[in-house]
Structure 1
Amino acid sequence: MTAPLFTRTDPALGEFSLRPVVPSADAPLLHSWVTHPKAVFWLMQGHDLAAVEKEFARMAADPFHDAFIGLHNGTPAFLMERYDPAHRELAGIHAAEPGDVGMHFLAAPTDTPLHGFTLAVLTTVMEMLFDDPATRRVVVEPDARNTAVHALNKAVGFEVRDTVSLPSKDAYLSTCTRDQFLAAQGDHR
């Protein structure tokens, strides 16, 4: 597998890191995650293994969209997608500004949840995105019905800007600047 591109340590939960998805090798794991009932908002419930591999291979070849496996203490535990909102997902819907980066994340389904884990995952994702000095603002468009992710987004500094209709969902268009993220981190320390 490829080496991690970003690593951080959470004082309570340990090491979190991200590495690029390798579609052919990671497809079975990703398939088990994105087709799980808890991943309903990923809209891949009926996908077979070949369809999941094809989707992540498409992302790997797309200059405006990529995907990462997140590791928790060395074990795959979450997924993150990064995209350019001027060219993908929100093109024509959101007036993207220079430095905008789109993001999706998924904590892997588990039978043994850890308190604070998903917030630590989202914090890791945000730290990775803001580790790039060119990133000025993170943009997300979660399904309006996904109340759990709305609470997490708010906890790391996202502000809902609008409700938008996308082909597959009504979504809360939300943004988080570097300053909003840093201010939210101060609230958690």
Structure 2
Amino acid sequence: MSNTHHGTTADTLFTRTDPVLGEFAVRPLDLTRDIELLHGWVTHPKASFWMMQDASLADVEREYRSIDANEHHDAYIGLHNGTPAFLMERYDPAHVELVGLYEPRSGDVGMHFLTAPSDTPVHGFTKAVITTVMAMLFDDPATARVVVEPDVHNKAVHALNEAVGFEIVRQIAKPEKDAYLSTCTREQYLAAIGVTTR
């Protein structure tokens, strides 16, 4: 029996059903199958904060091969009702992105996400994506806190981060940008999505 009719395949790592928007799933990035799709996403004008606007296909492939080879960094493709719809990265902030810029704690996980460009934006879609990303990260019992470092100018992401429980800790200077170091514990996430833990 094939599962493909509702979008989950054997390589799906995580699924979440959104009450309004349907099924979200996450699978490992497969460069042989995903590279052209990925290149289109990261070079799109709406992905300006991804800082790969002028990247060639080979540049994007090189970047994601290096992520694939890094034991502290993973990349995934997110699906919405079976169709690729977002990119997700998970990393260990003690080794990637934030080395020397903050005090890592046991159970810290870093993440990036990028929704695919769309001509017909769906209301609530990006919030459903970040909620799926957070749900996947906290699905791992070892994850105690999610740490992010969005560009200070990325107002849309600050609002989304706040909606799922992130608090800005402070502004930090990274080589490529000024960022807001922000953290979200499991408890903050659950409170933000309306799950009571008591």
Tell me which interval the TM-score lies in, with the shorter structure as reference length: over 0.9
CA distance in 2, matches of 1:76, 1:26: 9
Say whether 1:181 aligns with 2:189. yes
CA distance in 2, matches of 1:10, 1:36: 26
Partner of 1:11: 19
Greater C-alpha radius of gyration: 2
CA distance in 2, matches of 1:125, 1:185: 13
Partner of 1:31: 39
CA distance in 2, matches of 1:77, 1:166: 28
SS in 2 for 1:88: coil
CA contact (8 A) 1:81 1:103 kept: yes
Listed as ranges, the matches of 1:1-189 within 5 Å are 3-186=11-194
| Unpaired stretches in structure 2, ≥5 consecutive residues | 1-8
CA contact (8 A) 1:2 1:19 kept: no
Deviations 1:159-189 (A, max 9, x none): 00010000100000000000000000018xx
TM value normalised by structure 2:
0.93
CA distance in 2, matches of 1:3, 1:14: 19
CA distance in 2, matches of 1:31, 1:117: 21
CA distance in 2, matches of 1:95, 1:2: 38
CA distance in 1, matches of 2:173, 2:110: 17
Alpha-carbon offset, residue 24 of structure 1: 2.5
SS in 2 for 1:30: helix
Alpha-carbon offset, residue 2 of structure 1: 6.1
TM value normalised by structure 1:
0.97
CA distance in 2, matches of 1:164, 1:23: 32
**Identity across aligned pairs (percent)?**
67
Alpha-carbon offset, residue 10 of structure 1: 0.2
CA distance in 2, matches of 1:89, 1:23: 22
| Unpaired stretches in structure 1, ≥5 consecutive residues | none
CA distance in 1, matches of 2:170, 2:32: 37
Off by >6 Å, runs of 4+ in structure 1: none
SS in 1 for 2:84: strand
CA distance in 2, matches of 1:98, 1:104: 19
CA contact (8 A) 1:2 1:20 kept: no
CA distance in 1, matches of 2:10, 2:110: 23
